[in-house]
Each structure stands twice: as C-alpha cells, then as structure tokens.
Amino acid sequence: MLTVYHYWLARRAGRGGRWRNPAALAQWQERRIRRHIEKLRKLSPFYRSLWAGIPSEEWRRFPIIDKAAMMDHFDTLNTVGISKSQAFDVAYEAENSRHFKPTLNGVTVGLSSGTSGNRGIFLVSPSEQAAWTGAVLGKLLPGGLWKRARIAFFLRANSNLYESVQRGRLEFRYFDLLEPVGKLVERLESYRPDIWIAPPSMLRLLAEEHQAGRLGIQPRTLISVAEVLDPLDKTYIEQCFQLTLQQAYQCTEGFLGSTCQHGMLHLNEDIVHIEKEYLDPQSRRFVPIITDFSRTAQPIIRYRLGDILTEAAAPCPCGSPLTAIERIEGRCDDILYLPHTETGQLVTLFPDFATRAVMAASAHIHHYRVIQHSPLDMEISFSLAEGSRAETEGLIAGQLEQLCGRLHCILPKLSFTEYEFTPGLVKLRRVERRWIL
C-alpha cells in the first residue's frame, strides 16, 4: 500500500496539480524539511554535531557536505547502525559474484558506479524502497501501474531497489552491461520488453544493432539513465526507433529528475529540495545542492552534487511548478580549462562548448570523445559514418580554433585518434578532463 500511495503522489505531482505555483511548492517543502531535520538531530550523531548551535528554521546555514564528507563520516551519518566497511564488503561481494541481493539488517545496500572515480555506498530502508518504487513508477511508467508491461533494465550492477519495480502486471528483467552485446540482443529478442531503461551509450549500441538488422524488436518506451545524454546520441536513438527518448536523473543521492509528457526534464522537487549554486548565471548553469526531506537511513542534507545542470529559459508547457532543466551537461570534474592568450590565467570551457564545436565540424561524425590531458594537450577521438577523416580533422581543428578565439584562450595541441569505447565497463564521458586542476 505504501508503494501505491507514493505512486499516486508522484502521478499527481507530475501533472502539476498538487501545488498552485512554485511559491506554494516552496512553502510545502519548508515545512517538510524542518520536521525532517528535527528527527535527524535525534538519529544521526554526525548531523547533530554538524548543526550544533544552528536552529532548524535556519537550515540553509548548515554546512554543505559532499561525497568525500559523506564517506568519511558514513558510520555516524547513517541512522541504521551500518558501518562503511560492512556496507562495502556486502556490496563488493554482490558485484563480484553478480548476485545482486545485498541487504544488512533488512536495509538494501548499493554501490555507486563512480563516474568521478570515487565509488560510494547507498543505504535504503524497506519503507524508503517502497516510496522510491512508487515515485519511479508514477513518473516513468507510461501506461500506469495496472497496465501490463515488460521492463528491461540495463545497468552495471543490479540492486534490490531496482528489483522492487517488479509488481503486479509489471515484469522486470536485469540486463548486465558486462555481458557481450550478442547475448544481450539474444535475450532482448526472447523477452520482447516494452520499456527499455539503459545508459545512452547502451541505447546507442542497441540502436546500431537495430539499424544493422541484428535486433528486430521495437520498444514502446525508451528511458536514458546513468550517463550524460549527449545530443548526438539522443538524435541517433530517436531517429532509429522513432520515439522520444525520456530521461531519469537517478544517482546514489536519490531520484532527482524525470521527463514530463512534453519531453522536458523536471527536478523531482516533490521528493527533494534543490538549491542552485550558479556557475554562470547568464547561461543558467548551476550545481545542485540536495536536501532530501524523506530519506532517513542515509540522510542527504545540503549535499553538493558535482553535476552541471542548465535551467530551462522558459516554463515548460506542461504547467508543472517543478523546475525545468534544459540539459544535464556533465560533471564539474569535466569542465575544461585553457590558458588565456595574454594573462595565462585559466579560462573555463564548459563541456557543452566542446560538444558543440565537434558536432558543428561535420554532420558525418558518428561517435566522438574530447579528452583534455593537460591545459595545452587535447585528444579528439572520433569515427565517421562517411567522408574523409583528414578533412574532418581539419574542420574540427577549425571549429576549436574559432571557439578559442571567442574565449581569448590558447588553442591546445590537438591529437586525433580512432574512437573506441565498450559500453558497460565504465560510464561514457563524451567530454573528459584527465588532469587535476
């Protein structure tokens, strides 16, 4: 019943009918947050110490934490008495054995995929699992809870949390990203799922298999998760399957966003409060600071996530008061920096700038990656659907030279390589910085 209740709340929030406007939503969030904080002061020694002397109504003054702080203080931050060493032991055993049923004292234990190189642990209590399941089904399930559907979920690691989606008329099967693509295609053909949920790199690979005639089935719904959805991949996947690709913004820190019926990504502000730490107010880029006002086993309060989000310039036509997001651009760790032509000071190059420059070079670029090895050393790996590789290299260099000219920064030394990437082993990062700032 708890799952159904949260399913109903999520459907209502998704239609925008739960609050009259953003101000009403903010007032509702404020009441929930203050009550939640009072409860956490009693349950979490870490937060009780961190918030000492600051009243609950001034919670925006609480120190901001990040993943490193959460992992450092994991034992006293969580409220279910599970140590970091216990959690990692259980999670790693599940991942190594590929038998994903890890629990400790009835609490689900999960391991993050670690885009930034630092893997994290998440804990979810049975009631939180039911609430998460209801929210996911309410926001992502196109036909409603009582319509029969088969779901294929492609991830590097399964979890009890994901398995909980299976209920009633819903059938769920986990597809391991580490399996060979031929075996995945074979299983898809046998299962014939209606809903495919996968990282965009895997959806792109399946689209290529479909185009080549090796995958004959057609999904009813496609949902992108776990990786940044690049415009190049989005266009290819949507054209291949003739469907609008939906997104679920889900990470260790919670279920943070989902796509509405107009194809716009909205933050799940009925579940979490998100403060905006603007990187560039003019372009509406910000880093989210998350406060989850329902999660108790592993509380998330004023947690700085390393993602770069771009707020939509105008309200979504769906009318929802939930914040509309134009794009999840990548991680702060993957902001590129180039020396200024005169001062030598580092100039910010957001991942989207590099993406647009490469895509503007040629319509025949099939895949690409931009990897910055040092401030003056950049690798461009790409593959072409057709055309001259040498000519395309010149066009990419020209676009990057123009970009550097506009930003008044030095064009780095460019090296061009063949594109290589195998979905499943690691997350795909189309733009990546490999040197430490």
Structural domain range at position 327: 2-331
Q: Are residues 311 and 347 in the same domain?
A: no
* Domains in the chain, number: 2
Are both 303 and 429 inside the same structural domain?
A: no
Show Cβ contacts of residue 94 under 8 Å, excluding neighbours closer than 6 positions: 100, 101, 102, 109, 111, 157
Kindly state whether residues 339 and 327 are assigned to the same domain.
no
pLDDT of residue 366: 94
Average pLDDT taken over every residue of the chain: 89
Confidence of residue 121 (pLDDT cuts 50, 70, 90): confident
pLDDT digits (tens, 9 = 90+) for 296-338: 999 999 999 999 999 999 989 988 899 999 999 999 999 999 9
How far is the C-alpha of 402 from the C-alpha of 417, rounded, in Å? Answer: 21
Residue 425 has what pLDDT? 72
pLDDT digits (tens, 9 = 90+) for 73-104: 999 999 999 999 998 888 777 666 666 566 77
User: Does one domain contain both 193 and 247?
Assistant: yes
Residue 130's pLDDT band (cuts 50, 70, 90): confident
Tell me the average pLDDT across 164-169: 59
Amino acid at 332: C
Statement to judge: residues 268 and 369 lie in one domain: no
pTM of the model: 0.88
Mean pLDDT for 417-429 is 88
Give the Å distances, CA to CA, from 82 to 47, 78, 167, 238, 293.
Answer: 16, 7, 28, 43, 21
**Claim to verify: residue 207 and residue 264 sit in the same structural domain:** yes
Which CATH number goes with the domain that contains 45?
A: 3.40.50.12780
Q: Work out whether the CA dihedral 89, 90, 91, 97 comes out positive or negative.
A: positive
Q: Which of residues 115 and 428 earns the better pLDDT score? A: 428
Chain segment 355-395, per-residue pLDDT in tens: 999 999 999 999 999 999 999 999 999 999 999 999 999 99
206 and 319 in a single domain? The answer is yes
Start-to-end CA span in the chain (Å): 50
